[in-house]
Amino acid sequence: MIAIDAGTTGVRSRAVFTDNSPTVASYREFTQHYPQPGWVEHDANEIWAAVVETLNEVIDEVGRDRVAAIGITNQRETVLAWDRTTGTTFGTAIVWQDRRTANRCDELTAQGRLDMVRERTGLVLDPYFSGTKFEWLLQNRDIPVDDKLALGTIDSWLIWNLTAGAVFATDVTNASRTMLCDIRTRTWDPELCEMLHVPMSALPEIVASSGRVGLTSAACGVPGGIPVSGVAGDQQAALFGQACVEPGMAKNTYGTGSFVLLNVGETCPPPTDGMLTTVAWTLADGTTHYALEGAIFVTGAAIQWLRDGLNIIDNAAEAGPLAESIDDTGGVYFVPALAGLGSPWWDPYARGTIVGITRGTGRAEIMRATVESMAYQTRDVVDAMVAASGTELKELRVDGGAAIMDLLCQIQSDQLGVDVLRPVDQETTALGAAFLAGLAEGVWATPAEVLAQWSLDARFTPADNRAACDVLHRQWLRAVERSKGWES
């Protein structure tokens, strides 16, 4: 299987072999656009070009005949509009981090729409989600609303291109993040679409996460005839890639942001304060699992900012050694609310805050405070999740770029008071997409066989001194209070 992992800052295509052969992968970064404070945009054509380049490189190396299927995983709430007959995009894509529709979400809350949105979608009224972004596109760009209009997330854009326009579809996990989908029926909701002035005719068909969607077309610039058989938003793909296929299993991905997901089984739970309810996946036989999710907007992106914005490091690989070069931050706390605060605060008006700075504060203290902030934010989410659901977290499986740092994993274990498990293969979003595609094509017969694919790299156990960890976390919460509501 080949997984296309279309993330927030780059695209990776990766081969996953059933015989544990060394992986083959190709990666391309793409441009981040910041036209105004709080706005984040991507060029969808640049993303597609990166997919073509990386996918062809991997197929050329492994051989077309060895490719059983393609799986897609993607940044979830990012939206774009295009013409279904020509493929012409109507401007840039609006990225999940974008906050331009915060005022619109406030209006909807004031109108009393929050309870309906939470009950039907499992989400909250926040500019993070796709619905108000779609509405903004239609109201602020010259987009003809006709039978040629396509409104979609990145997965639907890639499916449409890979099949040369033959298939316009999105999987149920991505649909569940739009604020337009009833997660119990897993269909577009007419009332929600009307509320946000989104024509249902412009939305893609909702399909299962594991199941053949279509075949690639040589007309799109990649080898034709390859089944596209697995699709999932990045965090749901990571949950599957971490083999969290049974209720009660949980993972955290430290990527651009961080996302804690807890598999809660086949029954959709009621709305949970501070948490999101989302579709974890739907298999080809219709089996659907749900998950509780805590969404943290900025973790790895903070390291990227320290690299590109402040020049504290030259590359991300320096972050771990620099943070480990000192024993503590000297009282410095960094709340990386660079795109507002997500779970459990849901404050789009929060802004990044660094407190506790003294003349002794240097590069290392700022970097360690950044690493610690990842663990503190995760604890905030887990504490809210446990309090709301009554389900104790037994262990946490971790992945993502920052999970390579032993320091982060140990701090995370200390803060949560449970073991943190890091797998051998940490590219779990790509693995999840490949597993879902392989299930659809019979490479693996059951989710239990997927569970057997998971293997442990390192286990981190919590420190005995919980009191000291709690003191540090209380100080962190004081810093969070100073970041909240900064913009008005």
Express each pLDDT in 224-242 by its tens digit: 999 999 999 999 999 999 9
What pLDDT does residue 20 have?
Answer: 73
* Between 427 and 139, the higher pLDDT residue: 139
What digits encode the pLDDT tens for the residues 75-124? Answer: 999 999 999 999 999 999 999 989 999 999 999 999 999 999 999 999 99
- pLDDT bracket for residue 19 (50, 70, 90): confident
488: pLDDT strictly greater than 80? no
- CA 147 vs. chain centroid, Å, equals 30
8 Å CB contact between 115 and 84? no
Question: How far apart, in whole angstroms, are the C-alpha atoms of residue 304 and residue 307?
Answer: 5
User: Which tokens sit at 348?
Assistant: 């789009």
8 Å CB contact between 155 and 178? no
What digits encode the pLDDT tens for the residues 297-352? Answer: 899 999 999 999 999 999 989 999 999 999 999 999 999 999 899 899 989 899 99
- Residue 211: strand pairing partners: none
Q: What is the mean pLDDT of residues 125-134?
A: 95
Q: What is the mean pLDDT of residues 250-275?
A: 87
Please give the angle made by the CA atoms of 287, 290 and 295, to the nearest 5 degrees. Answer: 145
Question: How far apart, in whole angstroms, are the C-alpha atoms of residue 431 and residue 411?
Answer: 26
- CA 465 vs. chain centroid, Å, equals 33
CB hemisphere CA count around 48 (13 angstroms): 24
Please give the angle made by the CA atoms of 14, 213 and 29, to the nearest 5 degrees. Answer: 35
What pLDDT does residue 381 have?
Answer: 93
Helix axes 363-389, 300-308, angle to 10 degrees: 160
User: Which tokens sit at 273?
Assistant: 């304060």
Helix axes 363-389, 406-416, angle to 10 degrees: 40
Kindly report the length of the chain.
488
Contacts of 278 (CB under 8 A, 6+ apart): 122, 123, 173, 176, 177, 183, 236, 261, 290, 291, 292, 293
8 Å CB contact between 415 and 408? no
Helix axes 114-121, 102-110, angle to 10 degrees: 110
8 Å CB contact between 202 and 140? no
8 Å CB contact between 155 and 202? no
Backbone angles phi, psi at 42, to 5 degrees: -130, 155
8 Å CB contact between 341 and 347? yes
Q: Could you tell me what percent of the chain has a pLDDT over 90?
A: 81
- pLDDT bracket for residue 220 (50, 70, 90): very high
Helix axes 44-62, 154-162, angle to 10 degrees: 60
Helix axes 428-440, 234-241, angle to 10 degrees: 80
- pLDDT bracket for residue 462 (50, 70, 90): very high
**Residue with tokens 């697995």, as numbered in its chain:** 230
Q: Which residue from 300, 303, 282 is spatially nearest to 291, judged by alpha carbons?
A: 282
Contacts of 37 (CB under 8 A, 6+ apart): none
Question: How far apart, in whole angstroms, are the C-alpha atoms of residue 465 and residue 469?
Answer: 7
Q: How far is CA 260 from CA 51, 288, 319, in A?
A: 27, 19, 22
**Residue 126 CB burial class (10 angstroms; 0-12, 13-18, ≥19):** buried
CB hemisphere CA count around 276 (13 angstroms): 29
What pLDDT does residue 445 have?
Answer: 86
What pLDDT does residue 275 have?
Answer: 85
Question: Domains of the chain (ranges plus CATH)?
Answer: 2-242 (3.30.420.40)
What pLDDT does residue 18 have?
Answer: 84
What pLDDT does residue 397 have?
Answer: 96
User: Which tokens sit at 61?
Assistant: 């190396």
DSSP strand pairing (288-296 vs 333-335):
unpaired
5-40 burial by CB neighbour count: b if 16+ within 10 A, else e? Answer: bbbbbebbbbbbeeeeeebbbbebebebeeeeebeb
What pLDDT does residue 450 have?
Answer: 80
Backbone angles phi, psi at 374, to 5 degrees: -65, -45
46: pLDDT strictly greater than 80? yes
Please give the angle made by the CA atoms of 182, 168 and 62, to the nearest 5 degrees. Answer: 115
Backbone angles phi, psi at 412, to 5 degrees: -65, -45
183: pLDDT strictly greater than 80? yes
Question: How far apart, in whole angstroms, are the C-alpha atoms of residue 308 and residue 129?
Answer: 27
Please give the sequence-ordered ranges of beta strands (E in DSSP) within 248-297, or none if there are none: 250-254, 258-265, 276-282, 288-296
Total Cβ atoms within 10 A of residue 387: 13
End-to-end CA distance of the chain: give it in Å, rounded. 48
Order of strands across the sheet that contains 79-83 = 41-42, 93-94, 79-83, 149-153
- pLDDT bracket for residue 295 (50, 70, 90): confident
Q: Give the chain's radius of gyration (CA, Å).
A: 21
Model pTM?
Answer: 0.85
**Residue 419 CB burial class (10 angstroms; 0-12, 13-18, ≥19):** middle
